[in-house]
A and B are shown apart, each in its own frame.
Chain A
Amino acid sequence: MNSKKAPKTANQRHQRELKRDQHHAVIHWLVTGFVLLVLLYIIGYTFAAGFKNLSLNFFISSDFDRGIAPQLFNTFYILILSMIPMLLIGISAAVYIVEYAKQGTMLKILRFATETLSSVPSIIIGLLGFLLFVTNFGQGPRWEFSRLAGALTLAILNLPWMMRTAEDALRAVPASLREASYALGATKLQTIFRTVLPAAIPGLMTGALIVSGRVIGETAALIYTSGVAGSSNGWFNFNLIHVPGDTLAVHIYTLFADNPTPAAQQGQTATAVVLIALVLGVNLLGRFFERRLTKRFSGE
């Protein structure tokens, strides 16, 4: 070790730290700027290409390349159908992991399984959904390409994400609140339902909305499950297992794959605008809820 160097004074050390902080700030802004640029480019490009093709009629027509009424309906219908099981299973699993599971092999296996599941390509999950829900493995009574089949497939696809965000939300609840509840004579179940879950609501809400954005934008997993066809007559129905239904994202794919006419291209760019606006809106809503509820939970 070289001990000749004079020991740094507090002031010198301070100066050096200041410089390092400045460097960090520059890198930080470069990265942020780059990501922002990409985001703005995507949004700007989509809107520039598609915004002029939007009209009121576009939202209420059910013609294949003139409107997206069925696709809007299907998107929200599938979103709701998939969020219900996902929230139930995802939050229950997170409660189990955070409140009950002991650190050990079981938990490691569960983590390995969810992490692997979350890295399986969505087209593969789509094929699984096809076998599982649409064909029922060729056994007994079967469904058709249907919105429930699509929704359940999306639930499988996004369950790891839902579990992860729910787990984070539960872990963010301070242990001191659980202690306060136990010390008042609450059971474990009472503590979970009356203290932990209510305190985790902002986090759970934000997580659910972020996952919703993924559900709205998913395409590959739906092609073999809820199908690429919009049933243009009588699309406004709630039939779960016998009627196919394409979502906005799938619609963009079909317009391009089947029918690259100029009209279809216009419809495609306009659909893209709607889809991007929806996904952005859902994410912004997530942030909004997070902020509003955090405010409520931390006093005005």
Chain B
Amino acid sequence: MATDTAKFSIKDLDLWYGESQALKKITFDIQPNTITALIGPSGCGKSTFLRQLNRMNDLIDSVKVQGSVLYDGLDILNDCDVIELRQKVGMVFQKPNPFPMSIYDNVAYGPRLHGLATGKKRHRALDEIVERSLVHAALFDEVKDRMHKSALGLSGGQQQRLCIARVLAVEPDVLLMDEPTSALDPISTAKIESLLDDLKKQYTIVIVTHNMQQAGRVSDATGFFLTGEMVEFGKTDDIFFNPKDSRTESYISGRFG
């Protein structure tokens, strides 16, 4: 894998919460326009790793980091503007977390922050960004008549797609998703999975999931985490059907039951 074409190039990434080490020498590349799944048992550091890619870990005082993470060749652990980084590297959380505002204002939140709709016709421009993002997140048809109603009146699955639309509205380049369907019913999950396939054309996606079938269905590459280490990383088919490491094999066969 050539480093210069990678979206993210992670090398020897160590992370500590105070004295306890949560990530150990993580090293691998994430390719553009692919879906990378991160799997592994609870507490192995998947979320921690994901939150390092957009530096959400900065919000936790006790976190110390070492190593390097290159994003499009740029060292994001040292010289980088976090605001710009988070605009480019969006995040969808495990529990849908819409703001207690209207559906429209939720999607417009990011564009308003970053002044994406400008000029004389900026209201029209903002309307267009909101509509485009909702269409892209496969939610527009369901909410087009209630754009100015509270987002909290939506179902869980709709709320999660709204959160995806909200991220898409700031025109990101990467989507980080931490178990985005674990709080949803199978139908909502299926909707989001088919959405992912569509989004891949435009974005690079990294998704944490406990659902092996989901990882198998949607991802191109898979990384297996165990107690803070990346045990194995490779094409999803190889990881699932031809793992090199016995720990990967036993985890995957155990999860498939």
A interface residues (Cβ-Cβ under 8 A, vs B): 102, 174, 176-177, 179-187, 190, 194-195, 198-199, 296-300
Docked CA distance A187–B90 (Å): 15
B59 to chain A, nearest CB (A): 6
A182 contact set on B, CB distance < 8 A: 56, 59, 86
B150 touching A184, Cβ below 8 Å: no
Contact A176 B90 (CB under 8 A): no
> Are B97's CB and A184's CB within 8 A?
no
Q: A183 touching B54 by the CB < 8 A rule? A: yes
B109 in contact with A194 (CB, 8 Å) = yes
A102 CB → nearest B CB, Å? 8
B99 near A185 with CB under 8 A, answer no
A195 touches B97 (CB 8 A): no
Most buried by B among A180, A185, A199: A185
Residue of A nearest to B151 (CB): A299
Q: Are B152 and A298 in contact (CB under 8 A)?
A: yes
Contact for A297 among B100, B114, B163, CB less than 8 A = B100
CB of A198 within 8 A of CB of B101, answer yes
What is the minimal beta-carbon distance from B93 to any residue of chain A, in angstroms?
Answer: 7
**B61-89, CB < 8 A from A:** 61, 83-87
CB pairs A–B below 8 angstroms (19 shown): A179-B56, A179-B93, A180-B93, A180-B97, A180-B98, A180-B163, A180-B166, A181-B109, A182-B86, A184-B86, A184-B110, A185-B85, A185-B170, A297-B152, A298-B150, A299-B150, A299-B151, A300-B149, A300-B153
Q: CB < 8 Å: which of B84, B87, B95 contacts A184?
A: B87
* B152 CB contacts on chain A under 8 angstroms: 297-299
Question: Of A174, A184, A195, which is in contact with the most chain B CB atoms at under 10 Å from its CB?
Answer: A184
Q: Is B91 an interface residue (CB 8 A)?
A: yes
Q: Which residues of chain B come closer than 8 Å to A300, judged between CB atoms?
A: 149-150, 153
Q: Which residues of B contact A (CB under 8 A)?
A: 54, 56, 59, 61, 83-87, 90-91, 93, 95, 97-101, 109-110, 112-114, 149-154, 163, 166-167, 170
Partner of B167, one of A176, A184, A199: A184
Q: Inside 8 A of B100's CB, which chain A residues have their CB?
A: 177, 198-199, 297-298
Contact of B99 among A180, A190, A298 (CB under 8 A): A180
Q: A184-B86, A184-B113 are in contact. Are A179 and B95 (CB under 8 A)?
A: no
Chain B hits for A184, CB < 8 A: 86-87, 90, 109-110, 113, 166-167, 170
A-side contacts of B93, CB under 8 Å = 176, 179-180, 183
CB distance from B162 to the nearest CB of A (A): 11
Q: Which residues of A contact B84 (CB under 8 A)?
A: 185
Bound form: Cα–Cα A176–B91 in Å: 12
B114–A185 contact, CB under 8 A? yes
Select which of B90, B99, B149, B151 is within 8 A of A183 by beta carbon: B90
Nearest CB in chain B to that of A187: its residue: B83
Give, as a whole number of angstroms, the nearest-CB distance from B39 to chain A: 22
A297 to B100, CA, bound (A): 5
Taking a contact as CB atoms under 8 Å apart, the answer to whether B110 and A185 are in contact is: yes
How close is A229's CB to chain B, nearest CB, in angstroms? 48
With both chains docked as a complex, state the minimum distance between the C-beta of B182 and any C-beta of chain A, in angstroms.
Answer: 14
Say whether A299 contacts B56, CB under 8 Å: no
Given A184-B90, A186-B113, A187-B83, residue A179 in contact with residue B149 (CB < 8 A)? no
Q: Are A183 and B91 also in contact (CB < 8 A) when A176-B97, A195-B99, A298-B100 are?
A: yes
Chain A residues positioned under 8 Å from B95 (CB to CB):
176
The distance in angstroms between the C-alpha atoms of A182 and B90, with both chains bound, is 10
List of 8 A-B pairs having minimum Cβ-Cβ separation, nearest first:
A299-B153, A185-B87, A297-B100, A299-B152, A176-B97, A185-B86, A183-B91, A184-B110
